[in-house]
Amino acid sequence: MRDFEGHENDFLINTPAEILALQLDLLLLENQLSYILLEGLYNLVTGSPSFIDLGFKFFRVQMFSQRAPKQKEFKHFTDLQRATLVENFPAEEYTKNYTVDISELHCATKLQESGVKFRCASGEGRLLVIRFEQGELRIPQLSVFHETDTMLQNIMALEQCRYPRYSLVVCAYVRLLDSLIEDKRDAQLLVD
């Protein structure tokens, strides 16, 4: 993985579709190896650059942030991916205010018809922070690619297996988006 950008003869590394497939495969929860084990093996061979920096560089397209997370302990690469997503999420505020039942939330077009305005919120690395203030639902922009659904489902599976109920922030985020988007009109409203 260290010199993955410099191997001209490596078919997997030099074919964009193949490297994307490899990255996605290595991020699937069912394909995870212990991060401590991989880091230990890497440090036996080299150690520079740090394994976290190398892993983040290799998976940068699949990460939800441009910077490696401050957290330095992960169970595996899926956990690293989740850490980039939740790093700037105000967990204390979430656990304090986690009383909203979104199961009865109306879709985006119905909310707009009732007077709710939608606005794209800004803030690098704060994808999960959605606010409703003064009649406006402020949602950060999510760039959606072919593999986004798989990545989010994978992180949701990790959260449901490993994290306590009050820490299921990605699950709650996806449930909220699922409630808001009932059909293509809702999706178009949120895109606009």
Highest mean pLDDT among 128-137, 152-161, 163-172: 152-161
Lowest mean pLDDT among 25-39, 80-94, 96-110, 169-183: 96-110
8 A C-beta contact, residue 190 and residue 118 = yes
Per-residue pLDDT, averaged over 108-118, amounts to 95
16-67: per-residue pLDDT in tens?
A: 888 888 899 999 999 999 999 999 999 999 878 888 888 888 898 888 887 8
Binning pLDDT at 50, 70 and 90, where does residue 105 land?
confident
67-81: per-residue pLDDT in tens?
A: 888 877 889 999 999
8-23: per-residue pLDDT in tens?
A: 666 666 788 888 888 9
Binning pLDDT at 50, 70 and 90, where does residue 167 land?
confident
> How confident is the model at residue 131, as a pLDDT?
87
What is the chain's mean pLDDT, rounded? 85
